[in-house]
Amino acid sequence: MIQKKLCMIGTSGVGKTSLVAQFVHSVFSDKYLTTVGVKIDKKMVAVDGSEVMLVIWDLAGDDDFQRLQVSYLRGTAGYLLVADGTRQITLDQVRDIQKRVAEAVGPVPFLLALNKADLAPQWEVDEAQIASLVAQGWTIIRTSAKAGSGVEEAFSELSRQMLQPKP
């Protein structure tokens, strides 16, 4: 069985922990996020008939990327960027974060989860911005940690990308 390390990255309040909670049954308390700055969970997913054990590192969110524990990113096979669709600024921040993460870990697969899809009428992020990012090669999935929509799909898609052979 293959294990892959996956990091959840995004500014505070975008719903990273909620997405993980929706996806897995946690063993460790959320207080690790505020103490060590990371909480680790795992989840088995099936990708193209193969089982993959995702070891998910939920990194504490901070608006300032400089405070991100970059060492936690080491060895990650992919990362899930999370932004809040109702707050434009979180998308702007996650763009910046992605650049810095790419510098730290190299060209590993990533996926942007635009969270809070259940609050669609309040969204500040528009389709043009999404299209622009897609044009840059980003994979974007709308998720709702509250309703559970898109969560499984986001993790599965990222897992699939992580399993693809490196060019």
Partner 1 sequence: MDDFDELRRLLLGREQEQLRELRERLEDKEKRASDVSGVLPQAVKLSRERGAELTHALQPAVEGSIRETIETRPQVFVESFSPILGPLVRRSIAESLRGLLQSLNETLEHTFSWQGLKWRVEAWRTGKSFAEVVLLRSLVYRVEQIFLIHRETSLSLLHVTADAAVAKDSDMVAGMLSAIQDFVHDSFQAGADATLEEFRVGDLQVWIVPGRYAFLAAVIRGNPSRDLHPTLEQAIDDVHILKGSALASFNGDASVFAPLRPELEGCLRAQYEQKPASESRRTMAWLALASAAALAIFAGMLAWRSEGRWRDFLGLLNAERGIAVTAADHGWFSPSRVAGLRDPLAENPADLARQAGLDPGRIRFDWKDYLALDATSVRRRFEQRFGVPAGVRVAVTGGGLEIAGPVPFEWLERVRREAAQMPGVTALVERDLTVTYDPGHVLERFQAAFPLPPTVAARVENGTLILSGKTAYEWIAPVREGARRLPGITALAEKELQVAFDPALVLRRFEGRFGLPDTVNAAVQEGVLTISGEASHAWLTRVRKGAAETPGITSLDERDLTDLDQRAFQQSKSVIENAFVYFLVNKDNFATEGFAALSRLPDELRRCQTAAKRLGLDIGIEIRGSADTVGNEAKNLDLSQRRANAVRDFLVTCGLDAEMLKPLGLGAPPVASAAEKAVPEQADRRVALRVITPP
Indicate which single residue of 14, 19, 57, 109 sits in contact with partner 1 (rule: CB under 8 A): 57
For the CB of residue 40, give the shortest distance to partner 1 in the complex, in Å. Answer: 4
Q: Does the footprint of partner 1 cover residue 76 (CB under 8 A)?
A: yes
Cβ at position 148, least distance to partner 1 in Å: 23
Binding mask 15-54 for partner 1 (x = CB under 8 A): ------------xx---x---xxx-xxx---------xx-
Q: Does residue 58 touch partner 1 according to CB under 8 A?
A: no
Distance of CA 53 to the CA centre of its chain: 16
Stretch that binds partner 1, among 72-80, 94-102, 106-114, 137-145 (CB under 8 A): 72-80
**Contact call for residues 39 and 33 (beta carbons, < 8 A):** yes
Is residue 87 involved in binding partner 1 (CB under 8 A)? no
The helix/strand count (H/E) of the chain reads as: 5, 6
Residues 114, 95: Cα–Cα separation, whole Å: 12
**Cβ(43)–Cβ(1) under 8 Å?**
no
Nearest to 76, CA basis, from 30, 40, 22: 40
**Which of 27/135 has CB closer to partner 1?**
27
One-letter amino acid of 70:
V
- State how far Cα 121 lies from the chain centre: 23
Enclosing H/E stretch for 129: helix 127-135
Query: Of 11 and 76, which has the nearer Cβ to partner 1?
Result: 76
Q: Which residues of this protein are in contact with partner 1, per CB under 8 A?
A: 1-5, 27-28, 32, 36-38, 40-42, 52-53, 55, 57, 69, 71-72, 74-77
